Chains A and B, each alone.
Chain A
Amino acid sequence: MDDVLLRLDDARIGYAGRVIIHAACVTLRRHELVVIAGPNGSGKTTLLRALAGLQPLQGGERHASGIRIGYVPQRERIDPLVPLRAEDVVGLGLFGELRPWQRMGATERARVRDALERCRALDLARRPWRVLSAGQRQRVLIARALVVRPDVLLLDEPTAGLDPATEREIVAMLDELRRLEALAVCLVSHQLEPLAGRSTRVLRVEKGEVSPEARTP
């Protein structure tokens, strides 16, 4: 049981009195790569947001004490108009730790570089966010989540809109992270093929229900 990092028990999830998912039971453990799948509008992102603590539960419980969440939203969330370089975007992940007048020191900059390197994106550090390709942006956002030093990495459709080669690279990178860094990785995806052989479990969300947690072969 020590490997359990995050758990939803009988969670009822929805917006403004409208329940979208009834009684979800989800457990995330170290070294897992869990995929949340299901048709459009079924509530996959809502479930992910509930796991991240962003969506208040209408019932049930969320157990996540003492763990750090690394959250990777959809790429389009960051406006290309914002004049941030890739390293600035990753640096946003440290804002939770820095005091108001504290400057980013050598330690923090080293952490940013380390996170970029782990995502094979160190060469992008000085490049503006707006000129990065979809795959490069995805790597930078994953680095931003990693700089938090998370126990659980939650990703919202990290492979959507990517070409097959980049898609494979991102999935391989996530697989490597969960194996080597004792992370639990949970991601939303429409397509299961690129994740075949990498994911440890698939959660199906459909008609307000989360399917029993089945281990993939």
Chain B
Amino acid sequence: MSLDLPYYLSQEFLFRNALLGGVLVGGLCAVLGIYVVLRRLELLAVALPQASAAGIALSFWLSGHAHAAGDAGHGLALLGSLGGAFGCLLVLAAVRRSPLPPESRVAALYALASAATVLFVASNPAGDIELTSLLRGDLLAITDRDLARLAAVAGGIALLFAAFRREILLASVDPEFARTLGRDPARADTLLYALLGVAISLGVMCAGPLVVFGFLTLPALAALRAAGSLVVAFALAVAIGVGASTGGFALAYQLDLPAGPVEVVLAAVPWLAIVGASVLRRRHGARAIALLLVLLSGTPLACAHDGDSAPGDAPSPPMPDPAARGTFPALPPGEEVAVLPVRNDTGQPLRLAAVNPLEDLRRAAGDPFAPPSATVADALTTLSAVELGRRGIPVRAAETVRRAFPTAPASPAIAAASARAAGLPGPLLLPTLRRYSFGESRVLLVWLDLALVDAADGRIVWRGEARRPIPLPAAQTQTEVLVDATAPLFDEALGTR
């Protein structure tokens, strides 16, 4: 696994805006998070993002929009997010003289905001899409205009924060002393809460409440434990925030995991390391820390050693999977590839609408003579054979293969055994579809695995894979999605020859 940062930052990378947006949110929340932790506002840092989420859900419920409804939808979401966060702050300001402790009031608002979010989403016809987008954040759908807005607002917040840093520090450290200097701590507090409100509103829109809360607390916790001065604490928090955003995004992209939770887990690593080292030092003294550091530093060295051995070193043990990767290999003369049915591991039926709508009606009416509905997996089986043929690879007749393999085999060994039993010598191409989804963001998220299997012994001799998201702005139907995605999908999986 490699972190190809230049590629991620290039215009060619589809999720470049999402990555940059995440970095902005991570850095901004990390800076403000120093004051969230110093002033024990962690509970507010949970409640405000939740109130923002409730505001977004309310705005879409009132307007009857789905969450990802283009630029107008993003503007509406921003209004809702700001309304939720500042509404929560105004309520807290209005009840600030209540005899209850402030934590109780914030906790009550958090409970109310959480319940309201669920209820607004449940009342919205587009609720399913909305709920997922809200909880995970909508970074993937971030447009150039969104990114520009986010950068402008983040820049404005950073400027205001820098200009009034002394007032905010004084009000946070010693408000009474601030008043003896002629500074009004209430004004500084208002500014800090306003900056928090705007940052949280934007952050929730782009990354979701979990990421915002994580970045408001975790980088600051580590930085305040490790830093000897406030300037260093800010620098450390920003480094952790930006590093966790970038690293978490790359890791999530490589492992096909949701980016937000991965980023939060990465942001927690420095804090966990500091706390762990502190516990070890208390219980076992400095030697335990030294041992831990040696072990930690030894692990990556050992990993690096595998792939980069010095002259004279013993050769590394062979990798367990000897299958070649990359461009589909040339076959010996006279051999033909049998393209087996695509195995659908997505958990979805992925049915395609019939070209003739009457066929769908016949199936719906239970007509036993109606032709079976085609699926994306069926279409990809045919397209795999066509694309191999386009690359000059001889392919066995589809009818022959279909007779031997009416359904997709469960494993290479079973495929090889079935091929031998059916008298099909030569290589077998085993395609597996692991992910296939196309949503409002007009991006096809697809993961197609290809394995070339030797029918004689069931050994995998080559592997190919296509996992990059494919933007399809013009596709309207499932068939158009397949047609438009074919070339980039198979170029990545089979390579270009």
- Are A78 and B181 also in contact (CB < 8 A) when A83-B230, A128-B228 are? no
Q: Does A100 contact B (CB under 8 A)?
A: yes
- Name, among A82, A88, A101, the residue most crowded by chain B CB atoms within 10 Å (CB to CB): A82
- Are A88 and B230 also in contact (CB < 8 A) when A78-B173, A81-B38, A101-B163 are? yes
Instruction: Out of A70, A79, A85, A98, name the residue touching B173 (CB < 8 Å).
Output: A79
CA distance A49 to B176 in the complex (A): 9
- Contact: A83 with B163, CB < 8 Å? no
Q: Does B169 contact A (CB under 8 A)?
A: yes
Contacts of A148 in B (CB 8 A): 180-181
CA distance A73 to B232 in the complex (A): 27
Contacts of B169 in A (CB 8 A): 92, 95
Contacts of A84 in B (CB 8 A): 173, 229-230
Contacts of B170 in A (CB 8 A): 92, 95
Contacts of A52 in B (CB 8 A): 176, 180
Pull 22 A–B residue pairs with CB atoms less than 8 Å apart, ordered by A.
A52-B180, A53-B180, A54-B179, A69-B180, A71-B176, A71-B177, A73-B176, A78-B174, A82-B172, A82-B173, A83-B230, A83-B232, A83-B233, A84-B173, A93-B181, A95-B166, A95-B167, A95-B170, A95-B178, A98-B166, A101-B163, A148-B181
For A, the interface residue count at a CB cutoff of 8 angstroms equals: 27
Q: Does A66 contact B (CB under 8 A)?
A: no
Residue on A nearest B165 in the bound complex, by CB:
A100
- Contact: A100 with B164, CB < 8 Å? yes
CB distance from A206 to the nearest CB of B (A): 24
A residues 30-85 near B (Cβ < 8 Å) are: 49, 52-54, 69-71, 73, 77-79, 81-85
- Contact: A95 with B230, CB < 8 Å? no
Residue on B nearest A131 in the bound complex, by CB:
B228
Residue on B nearest A70 in the bound complex, by CB:
B180
CA distance A98 to B228 in the complex (A): 24
Interface string of A102-140 (1 = CB under 8 A from B): 000000000000000000000000001000000000000
Instruction: Out of A49, A82, A101, name the residue touching B230 (CB < 8 Å).
Output: A82
CA distance A49 to B169 in the complex (A): 21
Interface string of B182-196 (1 = CB under 8 A from A): 110000000000000
Q: Does B224 contact A (CB under 8 A)?
A: yes
Contacts of A164 in B (CB 8 A): none
Instruction: Out of B37, B224, B228, name the residue touching A85 (CB < 8 Å).
Output: B228
Instruction: Out of A54, A79, A96, name the residue touching B176 (CB < 8 Å).
Output: A54
- Contact: A73 with B228, CB < 8 Å? no
Interface residues of chain B, those whose CB is within 8 Å of chain A, are 37-38, 163-164, 166-167, 169-170, 172-174, 176-183, 224, 227-230, 232-233
Residue on B nearest A130 in the bound complex, by CB:
B228
- Contact: A54 with B229, CB < 8 Å? no
CA distance A60 to B170 in the complex (A): 30
CA distance A85 to B231 in the complex (A): 11
Contacts of B174 in A (CB 8 A): 73, 77-78, 92
- Contact: B182 with A79, CB < 8 Å? no
Contacts of B181 in A (CB 8 A): 93, 95-96, 148
CA distance A171 to B173 in the complex (A): 26
Contacts of B164 in A (CB 8 A): 100
CA distance A98 to B179 in the complex (A): 15
CA distance A77 to B174 in the complex (A): 7
Contacts of B232 in A (CB 8 A): 83
Contacts of B177 in A (CB 8 A): 71, 73, 77, 92-93, 144
Residue on A nearest B177 in the bound complex, by CB:
A71
Contacts of A101 in B (CB 8 A): 163
CB distance from B180 to the nearest CB of A (A): 4
CA distance A101 to B178 in the complex (A): 18
- Contact: A85 with B229, CB < 8 Å? yes
- Contact: B173 with A83, CB < 8 Å? no
Instruction: Out of A54, A73, A82, A100, name the residue touching B38 (CB < 8 Å).
Output: A82
Contacts of B224 in A (CB 8 A): 81, 83
Q: Which 6 A-B pairs have the closest CB atoms?
A: A96-B181, A71-B180, A95-B166, A100-B163, A83-B227, A83-B233
CB distance from A110 to the nearest CB of B (A): 19
CA distance A52 to B176 in the complex (A): 10
CA distance A81 to B233 in the complex (A): 11
- Contact: B182 with A92, CB < 8 Å? no
- Name, among B166, B227, B230, the residue most crowded by chain A CB atoms within 10 Å (CB to CB): B166
Contacts of B183 in A (CB 8 A): 95-96
- Contact: B176 with A88, CB < 8 Å? no
Contacts of A82 in B (CB 8 A): 38, 172-173, 230
Residue on B nearest A53 in the bound complex, by CB:
B180
CB distance from B19 to the nearest CB of A (A): 31
Contacts beyond the supplied A84-B229, A92-B170: 6 A-B pairs with Cβ under 8 Å: A49-B176, A52-B180, A84-B173, A92-B174, A128-B228, A148-B180
Instruction: Out of A53, A69, A83, A93, name the residue touching B228 (CB < 8 Å).
Output: A83
Contacts of B180 in A (CB 8 A): 52-54, 69-71, 148
CA distance A100 to B159 in the complex (A): 11
- Contact: B173 with A92, CB < 8 Å? yes
CA distance A49 to B180 in the complex (A): 10
CA distance A79 to B224 in the complex (A): 12
Residue on B nearest A85 in the bound complex, by CB:
B229
CB distance from B202 to the nearest CB of A (A): 24
Contacts of B173 in A (CB 8 A): 78-79, 82, 84, 92
CA distance A40 to B156 in the complex (A): 49
Contacts of A54 in B (CB 8 A): 176, 179-180
Contacts of A85 in B (CB 8 A): 228-229
CA distance A101 to B163 in the complex (A): 6
CB distance from B331 to the nearest CB of A (A): 66
Contacts of A71 in B (CB 8 A): 176-177, 180
CA distance A84 to B178 in the complex (A): 16
CB distance from A120 to the nearest CB of B (A): 22
Contacts of B166 in A (CB 8 A): 95, 98, 100
CA distance A70 to B176 in the complex (A): 11
CA distance A6 to B178 in the complex (A): 20
Contacts of A77 in B (CB 8 A): 174, 176-177
Contacts of A73 in B (CB 8 A): 174, 176-177
